[in-house]
Amino acid sequence: MTTRYADRMEGVKPSAIRQLLQFGADPTIISFGGGYPDSSLFPARELQAIFGELLAGPGEVSLQYTHSTGMPKLRQQIAQRMAADGIVCEEDQVLILQGSQQGLDLAARLLINPGDLIATEAPTFLGALIAFNTCQPGYLAIPMDEQGLMTDVLEQKLKEGQRIKLLYTVPDFHNPTGITLSLARRQHLIQLANQYDFIILEDSPYREVRYQGDKVPTLKSMDTQGRVIYFGSFSKILAPGLRLGWSVASAEITEKLGLLKLAADTQCSTLNMAAVSMYLERHNIDDHIQTIKAQYLRKKETMLSVVRSEFPQGISWTDPDGGLFTWMEFPEGFDTAKFMLEHAVPEAKVVWVPGATFFPTVQRDNFARFSYSTHGDEKIIRGMTALAELLKKHL
Amino acid sequence: MTTRYADRMEGVKPSAIRQLLQFGADPTIISFGGGYPDSSLFPARELQAIFGELLAGPGEVSLQYTHSTGMPKLRQQIAQRMAADGIVCEEDQVLILQGSQQGLDLAARLLINPGDLIATEAPTFLGALIAFNTCQPGYLAIPMDEQGLMTDVLEQKLKEGQRIKLLYTVPDFHNPTGITLSLARRQHLIQLANQYDFIILEDSPYREVRYQGDKVPTLKSMDTQGRVIYFGSFSKILAPGLRLGWSVASAEITEKLGLLKLAADTQCSTLNMAAVSMYLERHNIDDHIQTIKAQYLRKKETMLSVVRSEFPQGISWTDPDGGLFTWMEFPEGFDTAKFMLEHAVPEAKVVWVPGATFFPTVQRDNFARFSYSTHGDEKIIRGMTALAELLKKHL
């Protein structure tokens, strides 16, 4: 038989990331591809005690169904953490999600009709495009500079009559570039949203992993009209395998996202929500985050020190204040995907994410995202040095 | 501001189940509403040992990201269990889901354009309607008798020219009626799917909870053309708070569902998948299911014995061979929702799910779903006896 799929499946295709996952399974290859946190930093011992205690208690509490919007206590705890970061909100504005990825999917379903326009940074997070594509949007790609999304370019497009339904941004330590949106640009963006009536999705899974420089206020904290939906995640500050993130939005939008959550998967894992709630109660997560930050700062310095001293001329890179990634620009005409498959994999046993896949409209071949979060220093040095040698031969 | 939501949100409304959840939180009320398993039957001690062991091991294995399609070993284990039930399949035909609810959502998104027709039993599982509604389908409601969905009525509609894109059925211990689809009807249904080119969603979360009578082969086991997508769940045989279910379909359909899964929430919880995989390896889950079945059979008998001896004339009910529910029919003109709110809650402190909400098109008021799975015998007897007294006064 030939299955007749729904029209929305036209935008749902296997991504280039797939091939990378294959390389990730090969222990002889050093992958700077996945945005994986360092698993040695997961608080496994603390979680072991917590899961042990929860599973010794009544099954009703840890293993039964619970609220589709999330465990009430965890919603309160997140609301308190958000308030400490300048986002004043109540429990009914917080929705617990299966990672912030689920928030991107639900928000698109809440807002996007086929053909509606979504503005994003170019480049942008591939997972967001994958989620949005199921709603058949168009994209308006806004370029970035060292201050992040170029809001004056966006304003020009809006003045010319382009109408967007929502804008998606990763303002803190952007994926894939590592760039942070400046305060002035944030203010401008909020003003544009109010003037041109669009919703902002503020996706900030890396926000708490800032290891240098001062915090910039969230877009959500500047939002006076309920136009910003903020997404946070425990993936980078606790562990991604728990699959827990959250959204903060107006109570009205949160209620509607909650209905979509119920339809999509009933609820998140009761056990995992109870465990994270107990972790937040028992431990000072900010102390844990301090440890993570020190490690990632050192890893970044390790990677960039090889890049600075060993990479040939003609390559530039970002030096982020937080997060997991650096973004490299190679000379025009240098295809990072082709070079990776033809040379880096066989000759240097190193992989990364070729940049083309991050561009929502016009793809550019001469960029690459390198994650410094996953490996220890020795592997970072070995992999990047081998790559430097190879680049010297070919550039 | 006024948010402009997507058109699909017109079908996404708060359900009648919401009000029930409020009652569920009141400890003075006995709820026969939720389809909750008995939490005293969760294998908490075994899971405690397993989570303890997993979290003592490398974080890489239990807390890191893994495959979006699910942990490979768990997919293999499920494929083996499916084969033992007559569904011969490979690992690449199994997709791990955030409960089978997620499968309903993803399958609708895979197949349904706005306006496409979905055939369902009338009544049917409310959660399925909630998931499907986000894709803006039409519904073709097929009545049931004691052998389940009336396939001759479906055939008549198809002969008259009605065209359906998919048919949704709960063939084993149907939700809400508890009825099992007969073998002859299953064969007829497969023949109709082949002849009239539609897909069948076989949702069978209760299948393994059969406590009397012989197993009837699954629709999937009779499927020679890759037309059936089967959904199973660990919610009723282990614990719903783990949020793990699965689908079995053709490799092609499974791959596409996997792409939608990646877009929707990246993956299920690594830790919970690893735990269930270890449970299946260490313990004989079929022994555990035997224990569950004995308990549910006794609970059913407890509930129905009160109903048989104490309920007034004019009420009929199903006597299921498995699952969690009995479905009651009250005299024409008796509104089970109104009676519950006006009398049962204040006077007998008992709630159930009024039947109207389970009908996809024309709602009928004189039905009710009672779950016997949640409470112990004493509470079942107390609640049902109080209800019987009240019904005697009003009928």
Q: Give a yes or no: residue A52 inside a domain.
A: no
Q: What is the pLDDT of residues B96-131, one digit of tens each?
A: 999 999 999 999 999 999 999 999 999 999 999 999
Q: Based on the fold, state whether residues B323 and B369 are members of the same structural domain.
A: yes
Q: How many residues does chain A have?
A: 395
Q: Based on the fold, state whether residues B267 and B359 are members of the same structural domain.
A: no
Q: In total, how many domains does chain B have?
A: 2
pLDDT band at A77 (very low <50, low <70, confident <90, very high): very high
Q: Based on the fold, state whether residues B74 and B203 are members of the same structural domain.
A: yes
pLDDT band at A18 (very low <50, low <70, confident <90, very high): low
Cβ pairs A/B, distance under 8 A: 234
Could you tell me if B196 lies within 8 Å of chain A, comparing CB atoms?
no
Q: Look up residue B218 and give its two tokens.
A: 């699954």
Q: Based on the fold, state whether residues A190 and A273 are members of the same structural domain.
A: yes
Q: How far is residue B32 CA from its own chain's centroid?
A: 16
Q: Which residues contact B289 (CB under 8 A, 6 or more apart)?
A: B208, B209, B237
Please check whether residue B371 is in contact with residue B192, taking contact to mean a CB–CB distance below 8 angstroms.
no
Q: Based on the fold, state whether residues B91 and B150 are members of the same structural domain.
A: yes
Q: Based on the fold, state whether residues B229 and B265 are members of the same structural domain.
A: yes
Q: Based on the fold, state whether residues A140 and A271 are members of the same structural domain.
A: yes
Q: Based on the fold, state whether residues B321 and B214 are members of the same structural domain.
A: no
| Burial (Cβ within 10 Å: 0-12, 13-18, ≥19) of residue B360 | buried
Name the minimum distance, in Å, from the CA of A149 to any CA of chain B.
24
- Are the Cβ atoms of A243 and B269 closer than 8 angstroms? yes
Please check whether residue B164 is in contact with residue B197, taking contact to mean a CB–CB distance below 8 angstroms.
no
Give the nearest partner residue to B5 out of A13, A55, A256, using CB atoms.
A256
* Nearest residue of chain A to residue B34 (CA atoms): A65
Could you tell me if B253 lies within 8 Å of chain A, comparing CB atoms?
yes
Chain A CB contacts of B9 below 8 Å: 110, 256
Q: Give a yes or no: residue B48 inside a domain.
A: no
Q: Based on the fold, state whether residues A100 and A204 are members of the same structural domain.
A: yes
Q: Based on the fold, state whether residues A102 and A245 are members of the same structural domain.
A: yes
Half-sphere exposure of A218 (CA within 13 A, CB side): 28
Q: What is the pLDDT of residues B222-253, one digit of tens each?
A: 999 999 999 999 999 999 999 999 999 999 99
Give the nearest partner residue to B269 out of A21, A113, A269, using CB atoms.
A269
Q: What is the pLDDT of residues A230-269, one digit of tens each?
A: 999 999 999 999 999 999 999 999 999 999 999 999 999 9
- Could you tell me the CATH number of the domain that includes residue A70? 3.40.640.10
pLDDT band at B14 (very low <50, low <70, confident <90, very high): confident
> So what's the pLDDT on residue B16?
63
Please check whether residue A136 is in contact with residue A8, taking contact to mean a CB–CB distance below 8 angstroms.
yes
End-to-end CA, chain B: 51
Q: Give a yes or no: residue B59 inside a domain.
A: no
When mean pLDDT is compared across A177-191, A248-262, B18-32, B201-215, the lowest value belongs to B18-32
- Are the Cβ atoms of A63 and B241 closer than 8 angstroms? yes
Domain that holds residue B198: 65-282
Residues 23-42 on B with a CB inside 8 Å of A are 34, 36-37, 39-42
Q: What is the pLDDT of residues B57-75, one digit of tens each?
A: 988 899 999 999 999 999 9
- A191/A197 Cα distance (integer angstroms): 10
Could you tell me if A95 lies within 8 Å of chain B, comparing CB atoms?
no
Which whole number is the average pLDDT over A4-30? 82
- Are the Cβ atoms of B265 and A98 closer than 8 angstroms? yes
Chain B CB contacts of A267 below 8 Å: 243
- A204/A254 Cα distance (integer angstroms): 17
CA A281 → CA A52, A74, A76, B20, B170, distances in Å? 16, 10, 12, 30, 42
When mean pLDDT is compared across A82-86, A183-187, A203-207, B9-13, the lowest value belongs to B9-13
Please check whether residue A149 is in contact with residue A142, taking contact to mean a CB–CB distance below 8 angstroms.
yes
Q: What is the pLDDT of residues B252-297, one digit of tens each?
A: 999 999 999 999 999 999 999 999 999 999 999 999 999 999 999 9
Q: Give a yes or no: residue B247 inside a domain.
A: yes
- B189/B197 Cα distance (integer angstroms): 11
- How does DSSP classify residue B325? E
- Are the Cβ atoms of A263 and B199 closer than 8 angstroms? no
- Could you tell me the CATH number of the domain that includes residue A294? 3.90.1150.10
